[in-house]
Structure 1
Amino acid sequence: MDLHSLSDSHCHVGIACTYSTSNEVIESLSKDSRLKNYALMSTNHIDIDYVDMISRSLEGVVVPFYGIHPWYVHLFYVGDGDEDEYIEMDHPNANSFKFAHYHKVLHPAPSDELLEVLPHPINLEVHNKKIQVLAINNNESQFVGIGEIGLDKPFRIPSNGYFGNQTVNIAESGPKLSNCRVTITHQRLVLESQLEIAQSLQLAVSLHCVKAHGALYDTVSKYNIPSIILHSFSGSSDQAKIWCKNFANKVFFSLSNWINGTESKLQMFSELLHVLGDMNILIETDLSIDSMDKDEYLGHLQGIFHKISNERGWTEQETEKILQDNWERCLRKHNN
């Protein structure tokens, strides 16, 4: 198998990524880039700069995707953040916008301890303008997409406010999860704002979804997006049929070894591949390129490659060609 013919359609930088580790990634991939492309996802207001930095230094190898992951949407507010948002209640912080925002988008309401570590909310419109500028600037010379974005119904806010919050000391085992979830209403508002950018610039989107497949489908269906990547798809084969029927060769099911290819999910994996057309399949790691051992990282991509090849009855050469043709079609510049 020729690794140089393969692309990872969904990977990340870790939550502890810094400018220093980003430079290490650049140096490492400059010397040994074994894959054709790495589609590198941003998830929040911090790692977007590292994704941009890495992609600009490794143009043609790293494909940047800019977006807000549903695990971080609570950090952003929609609207002007004026006094009309304040909540009238008997609480010493009730007249602060931070208090009002998090009481509006989290359910149940956050405890005083959680509210203390949560940062002041970020203006979504301002951040989206940054995404749009980065996408436009990069799109002049290379492929670019919007992601990782989506919906996650069961996700609970970590006790340190958000994953990667370096301002809060946590145990070595990581932060515990609070009982607060982000309302689907707020998740959809943020998602729709990102889909609007993708539609206006005609860019591919990489979508995350957990336990909200109907809502995701209904939301995405309102937009004209040239390429839709359902990353580590966890829906049913019946739901996959609906996506394929209505989006045909515009939708791609990006499969990962550690989510889709696990022993416990092989039956679901087989059923999914049975309903997908050849043109609908991509592969990914969904791993961090700055913290994984390189051989272990590539082993995940090879693992899902071989499982798809065996399930479909394709030779390695056939699998390589189909996957790479799909990837190039997915990211083709539709506005040219």
Structure 2
Amino acid sequence: MLVDSHCHLSYHCSATDEQLRSDHLRCVMSTNHNDWQVLKKIKVDEIKRSFGIHPWYSHLFTLKHIDKRSHYDNILEWKDPDEFNSMIEVLPDPIHLDTYIAQEYDSQLVTVIGEIGLDKLFRLPKNTGFYVRGGEPLSRIKVKMSHQVAVFKRFCQLARQYGKSVSIHGVKCHGLLYDVCHEELMPYNVKICLHSVTASLDTLQIWIKEYGRSVFFSLSKWINFKDLNEGRNLAKMLPLKCILTETDFPIDKFNNNQLTDQLNYICSQITSALDETIDVYQLVYTNFCRFIE
């Protein structure tokens, strides 16, 4: 069976359960409070739900009981006061993170904690202050890494508390990401998946050495196999027990055949990189079952 170990719903998803059925397993991320309201109501056997806040939405949440302007003043980085003031106008009132978790987290519904992590390159979209459709023009305003780390740590603690695996996003901050995981997850044997991982092979070797069977790497067509040689070299160096496949796509915006084609493509490239006698489909399925158990 094919496995999409990391995929999404669009921000304004209105698909029915029937439209979201597929012939493969899916681990669907939640990235914000909006898509979670849809995901938690979906009743499709092939879908495993994830609960988290993506770093692109971390600024919409506060860990303190403070007013809107004080919150954004504390956690955003900007140079132009006019740009910041314009951004404040479009941003919503922040949501208290612990209240959100207390009200929305349900261990019976949730299989994985994700998508969570850190992103050093992210900039707030100009017109909305957060991603709605993608492709929006970007401001020069960023979310402070200290705030991203605080939100990330809170979800790591949630994973520890309930014995859940985590699916992690990391961009241009692999050292810091490793340090947080080393502190918050590694001592507690929490299984982690680094999705569409872009760290250097040397960095990945450190993860593999330290985490062993508890770390997984989900490979995508558009990131990891954008360059075929790089993708195959990555597949060759990863332990077989660590390999997963993903689309990282909104499943309500693409038909089942399109998403299946992507997963088949990734499996074919992994097969080409490895011993062709290995059943990559069975390998990935077995790894995924171990990841979510």
Asked if structure 2 preserves the Cα contact closer than 8 Å seen for 1:198 and 1:225, the reply is no
Question: How far apart in 1 are the matches of 2:284 and 2:71?
Answer: 43
How much has 1:111 moved relative to structure 2?
Answer: 2.0
Within the candidate set 128, 131, 151, 1:163 is matched to 131
Cα deviation code 1:95-127 (max 9, x no counterpart): xx2111111111116522111000011101111
Task: Note the C-alpha offset of 1:225.
Answer: 4.4
Q: What are the within-5 Å matches in structure 2 for residues 153-192 of structure 1?
A: 153-159=120-126, 160-164=128-132, 174-192=135-153
CA spacing shift, 1:44–1:29, aligned 2, 3 Å? closer
Normalized against structure 1, the TM-score is what?
Answer: 0.81
Within the alignment, does 1:195 sit opposite 2:156 as a pair? Answer: yes
For residues 174-253 of structure 1, what are the structure 2 equivalents within 5 Å? 174-222=135-183, 223=185, 224-253=188-217
1:167-207, Cα deviation, whole Å (9 max, x unpaired): xxxxxx94210001111100000000000000111101000
Is residue 287 from structure 1 mapped to residue 249 from structure 2 by the alignment?
Answer: yes
The separation in 1 between residues aligned to 2:159 and 2:142, in whole angstroms, is: 26
DSSP-derived class of the 1:287 partner: coil
The AA in structure 1 aligned to 2:31 is: T
Q: Which amino acid aligns with 2:109?
A: N
Letter in 2 for 1:112: N
Q: Which amino acid aligns with 1:34?
A: D
Report the CA distance shift for 1:225/1:129 in structure 2 as closer, same or farther (over 3 A). Answer: farther
- Structure 1 residue 274 displacement after superposition: 2.9
Per the TM alignment, residue 276 of structure 1 is displaced from its structure 2 partner at its CA by 1.2
Deviation per CA, 1:261-315, whole angstroms, max 9, x where unpaired? 113xx34323322321110100000001101132222211111111111111234
Partner AA of 2:265 in structure 1: G
Q: Return the match for 1:272 from 208, 231, 234.
A: 234
User: Which of 83, 100, 110 is 1:127 aligned to?
Assistant: 100
Return the offset for 1:80. 2.4
The aligned counterpart of 1:149 is 116
4+ runs deviating over 6 angstroms: none
Matched residue of 1:14: which SS? coil
Q: Which residue of 1 aligns with 2:15?
A: 22
Runs (5+) with no aligned partner, structure 1? 82-96, 166-172
Aligned to 1:76, which of 57, 61, 64?
61
Question: Matched residues in 1 for 2:197 and 2:135: separation?
Answer: 26
> What does the per-residue CA deviation read over 1:247-272, in whole Å, with 9 as the maximum and x for residues that have no partner?
00110000000111113xx3432332
Paired position in structure 2 for 1:112: 85
CA distance in 1, matches of 2:119, 2:189: 21
- Structure 2 gaps of 5+ residues are none
User: SS in structure 1 opposite 2:15?
Assistant: helix
| Cα deviation code 1:120-154 (max 9, x no counterpart) | 1110111122343x2x1326xxxx01000000001
CA contact (8 A) 1:148 1:208 kept: yes
Q: Tell me the CA shift for residue 29 of structure 1.
A: 3.9
CA distance in structure 1 between the aligned counterparts of 2:276 and 2:191, rounded to whole angstroms? 25
Aligned to 1:307: 269
Which residue is equivalent to 1:325?
286
Verify: 1:138 aligned to 2:109, yes or no: yes
**Aligned partner of residue 141 in structure 2, secondary structure:** strand
| Alpha-carbon separation, structure 2, partners of 1:187 and 1:227 | 21
Distance in 1, matches of 2:143 and 2:230, equals 28
For the 8 Å contact 1:285–1:297, the answer to whether it is kept is yes
Amino acid at match of 2:262: H
Q: Secondary structure at the match of 2:251?
A: coil
- CA distance in structure 1 between the aligned counterparts of 2:265 and 2:99, rounded to whole angstroms: 40
2:218 and 2:243 in contact (8 A); partners too: yes
Distance in structure 1 (CA, Å) of the matches to 2:135 and 2:3: 31
TM-score between the two structures when normalised by the length of structure 2: 0.93
The reply on whether 1:34 has 2:5 as its aligned counterpart is no
Tell me the residue number matched to 1:66: 51
Count of residue pairs the alignment pairs up: 286
Max radius of gyration: which structure? 1
Q: How many percent of aligned residue pairs carry the same amino acid?
A: 35
Quick check: 2:191–2:291 contact (8 Å CA) kept in 1? yes
CA contact (8 A) 1:66 1:131 kept: no
For residue 53 of structure 1, report the CA deviation from its aligned partner: 1.2
